[in-house]
Chains A and B, each alone.
Chain A
Amino acid sequence: MVGLEERFRGEVESMIEPAGAADVLATALRRGGDFAELFVEDKRTTGASLDDGKIDQVASGRDRGAGVRVVVGDTAGYAHTADLTPPGLRAAAEAASAAARDGGGGTRTIDLTPTTHPSPSTTTKIPEDIPKARKIELLRAADAAARGAGDAVKQVMAGYSDGRRRILVANSDGVYTSDDQIRTAFRVQAVATGDTGMQTGYRSVGHTIGFELFDDHDVADVARQAAESAIGKLDARPAPSGTMPVVIAKGTGGVMFHEACGHGLEADAIAKGASVFAGRVGQQVAGKAITLVDDGTMAGEWGAFAIDDEGHPAGRNTLIEDGVLTDYMWDYLRARKEDRPYSGNGRRQSYQHLPMVRMTNTYVLAGTEDPDEIVAQTPSGVYIRQLGGGQVDTATGDFVFGMTEAYLIEDGRITDPIREGNLIGNGPRCLANIDALGNDFGMGMPGMCGKNGQGVPVGDGNPTLRVSELTVGGTAA
């Protein structure tokens, strides 16, 4: 296992040796500048899908390139290239330097110290070493299991994907470090058809590990859950419309925190006054039971890594502790400006993108209440077993998130399934309105968070919880 890790790190570092990296950084700063950074990425992906009973797609991809960033004052210049030869990298460095303004000039000597940060994930089953035929068997097993869940299941789509992303970061602060990120995921969508039309069910699993994913997760179970969700929704009633208590199951509500406050705690939004949480550090923003953490070190989770895309080690950062806002999340630029430590939240989609403040694995710690009691003590409302995506306007705090599998709560009992829809709320009010927190906990399905056109993998987690008032966007009076 140790051998493997060394092998990979050796490969990525051999792409650009420290001396070569120092040369690129020096070129980038030749016309002046406060900071220069070289980001190198080599990514291979494999995907396979089954649809309509057939393996219809097997695809592979290769992305390899480097980006050079030069920072002068508050201005960042960026250029990227797919040409990793010394002349190609120098050309990118020149372009990035020209993009930033001239700032004096001169020669800088850059001393790079190779550093290794421990990876939170250990992978022994490298997906590239697994025969494609083995990956395809998983798809067939999922198809059979989903169709076996009931005659109403008329269509199944299943997808397998793995990706291995090796990155290297070197910068004029002396950072020279690398990471090897292996992610594997599996997803199933089932379509059930009945008298009321069609309904869909969706489940996915994904971790920052290799083919071990399938030691812990049986794809047939994933498929059956997707199918049962679709079948159950055939009897769904229209979702209610209006403001009511909402109970969210463990391992599915993390996306609510991601939208309700996660994005609003990113330092770039804070710096621009574009967050309802600006200036609120030290204040009580939620009930005393609420502790919110963003944790890139969480072993194997979808948003985990050894280093962020600016070369800083992943961190476990407490954002809200006992209801008090304790900190924001930071990238290089914002941390430098505030003269504070990096939090390991500088991420980017690829070498073609500038890094930004991004979440990793964001979760709320468990509370003390019995999850069943939380439902029992809710006379009427909505119980959400599966959430979809969400979206937020950090400046107003208004956010939405979808419910893809939900039920009515009547007289303290979970009753009929309801149709899909969005819920809408306001971040600070929603946090303040969480009035019950279960003693259970689960991480949710793997997510892809989009911000300013860049997608990065993120995880989330939560215990069972209740929000006393949220607006459910259904159609029933």
Chain B
Amino acid sequence: MAELTDIVERIVGWAGDDEQVEAYASWGRDTDIEVYERDIESLSSAETQGVGIRVVKDGRQGFAYAASFDTDVLEETFAEARDNATFTEPDEWNGLTEPDGVAEATIEVWDGRLADVATADKVDLALRLERLVAEGDARIRAIESAAYGDAIVERALATTTGIRSALRRTVCSIAAYALAGEPDDTQTGFGFSVGRHVDDLDLDRAAADTVDRATRMLGATKPESLRTTVVLDPFVTSQFLSIIGSTLNGESVLKGRSLFADRLGESVAAVGVTLVDDPTDVRTYGASPTDGEGLASRRNALIDAGVLQQYVYDTYSGRRSGAGSNACAVRGGFKGSPGPGCRALVLEPGPMSPDELLASVSDGVLIQSVKGMHSGVNPISGDFSTGADGLRITDGALGEPLREFTIGSTIQKMLQGVIAVGNDLEFLPFSAAGQSLAISDVTISGT
């Protein structure tokens, strides 16, 4: 970490007169292990490092990155960023962020013991998971993959405007993907568990989820087309909330690409919907003391009891909107410059357990998994259509498995159609947590 801090200080020191410079450096060590049929299929361990440099001069911004800390490469990268700035157009809202006085929360997302876990023990976790899935049910035909992965990440950020930020983070996970049934009636299921240290990993839960998801789908048929209530599994809810988050991107609002532009203070969702983005919540996997531009993370209520409260802003969009940054800059590693985005979305849980929620719904379809969120959902127009599989809900109980259908609606209608939020909040390694979520009046397209 000291080395990263030195590197970003050095780069910032190269700034010329009237030139703003931001340097972001990261280092990571990853281990990825896959086992197959009780043997290691692949074991990969590696270190990754790199730097991303932003230069702003006369309102023009340039960016360059390199996956190296060699001095000659850093100098070349800095020169590239500076050169790139001369080709962009001046924008009065460009400029690096400045400290805004908000204190950093103390958030520990690092468990140093992870570095001491022997590779053999990591392999053993994957092998144990594979065995648990195999023994979980006689109908499990094969385990396509059982995997362990971890990452230890450090990063540092410095700017000529006085920002200094450093973070270290650990994360590890196990995951399995299994096939159930005969070759002519195969169903698949997955399960996983995530933590900061291997002791956090719940192998039994990951195995049970894998087995359940695969076996309960056996014999699935294609449903008739109908309009009904759907109950999203927490994993699916998380994906849905990520899309909602993208529609609240402050830059998209400013540039006429958000379907929720000009809706502040209005009801955009059912009263039961309260959505916050809170990277200071250490339980979320997007938790961190600062955002991608080094401002202290903060809890931002985006939708409160159905009413739109605010958008998410980085420095550029916050300045341009007049609202100021609310510390929602995200960056996809050292290879990209930051932009606004959500890191830790949490939908406020309701009072009902999943069973109570199913009972309240009475008739509908439980959505176990979706595919094509990237191809059939348009966050600008609001059109929503994804492939899905799941189970029919009849008289409040789970019934026959269903496959090869789509669920269709619009983002706007789905938010207004939320009729129940479960209490089964799960923190997932994505930008949103999830829980069971019931949405009325959704079109199922099948036969």
Contacts and interface: CB of A to CB of B under 8 A. Distances in A.
A76 B42 contact: yes
Given A155-B256, A198-B381, A133 B87 contact: yes
Contacts of B376: 388, 400, 402, 420-422, 473
Interface string B367-409: 0000110111010111101110100000000000001111111
Interface stretch (B95-103, B182-190, B416-424, B432-440): B182-190
A200 B187 contact: no
Contact of B403 (A272, A279, A396, A473): A396
Contact of A59 (B64, B68, B222, B371): B64
Contacts of B372: 389-391, 400-402, 422, 424
A53 B421 CA distance: 42
Interface stretch (B77-85, B109-117, B293-301): B77-85
A388 B188 CA distance: 25
A39 to B, nearest CB: 13
B447 A424 contact: no
A278 B91 CA distance: 56
A197 B63 contact: no
Interface in B39-95: 39-49, 61-68, 73, 76-77, 80-81, 83-85, 87-89, 91
Contact of B68 (A64, A154, A239, A424): A64
Given A59-B64, A99-B44, A191-B380, A273 B49 contact: no
Contact of B89 (A56, A239, A274): A56
A371 interface: no
Nearest to B73: A62
A425 B47 CA distance: 41
Given A272-B144, A395-B188, A396-B186, A56 B88 contact: yes
A58 B57 CA distance: 14
B272 interface: no
A193 B188 CA distance: 42
A89 interface: no
A316 to B, nearest CB: 28
A369 B137 CA distance: 50
A352 B63 CA distance: 23
Contact of A57 (B47, B337, B443): B337
B385 A239 contact: yes
A191 B256 contact: yes
B406 A400 contact: yes
Between B42, B68, B403, the greatest number of chain A beta carbons within 10 A of the residue's beta carbon is seen for: B42
Nearest to B258: A198
B131 interface: no
Contacts of B36: 74, 272
B445 A472 contact: yes
Interface string A103-115: 0000000000000
Nearest to B180: A395
Contacts of A422: 372, 375-376, 385-387, 406
B interface, how many residues as a size bin?
35 or more
B65 A62 contact: yes
B335 to A, nearest CB: 6
A352 to B, nearest CB: 6
Contact of A424 (B76, B88, B387): B387
A475 interface: yes
A316 B446 CA distance: 37
A158 interface: no
Contact of A199 (B375, B381, B385, B386): B381
A77 to B, nearest CB: 5
B408 A421 contact: yes
A473 B387 contact: yes
A393 B190 CA distance: 12
Contacts of A388: 374-376
Contact of A398 (B68, B375, B389, B446): B389
Contact of B65 (A51, A61, A80, A155): A61
Contacts of B141: 273
Contact of A421 (B62, B85, B255, B406): B406
A79 B65 contact: no
B408 A77 contact: no
B271 interface: no
A203 to B, nearest CB: 15
Given A200-B380, A389-B375, A391-B387, A57 B405 contact: no
Contact of A62 (B43, B66, B445): B66
A55 interface: yes
Interface centre among A243, A474, A475 (most CB of B within 10 A): A475
For B186, B225, B376, B444, the residue with the greatest tally of chain A CB atoms inside 10 Å of its CB is: B376
B319 interface: no
Contacts of A193: 256
Given A75-B39, A352-B48, A471-B404, A393 B89 contact: no
Contacts of B73: 62
A200 B85 CA distance: 29
Interface of B: 36, 39-49, 61-68, 73, 76-77, 80-81, 83-85, 87-89, 91, 119, 141-142, 144, 179, 183, 186-188, 222, 225, 227, 254-257, 259, 335-337, 371-372, 374-376, 378, 380-383, 385-387, 389, 403-410, 443-447
15 contacts: A55-B89, A58-B87, A62-B65, A62-B66, A62-B68, A75-B39, A78-B45, A79-B44, A80-B44, A81-B47, A99-B44, A132-B87, A279-B183, A395-B144, A422-B375
Given A191-B380, A243-B446, A475-B408, 8 more contacts: A57-B61, A60-B63, A155-B255, A197-B382, A401-B372, A419-B383, A420-B381, A421-B376
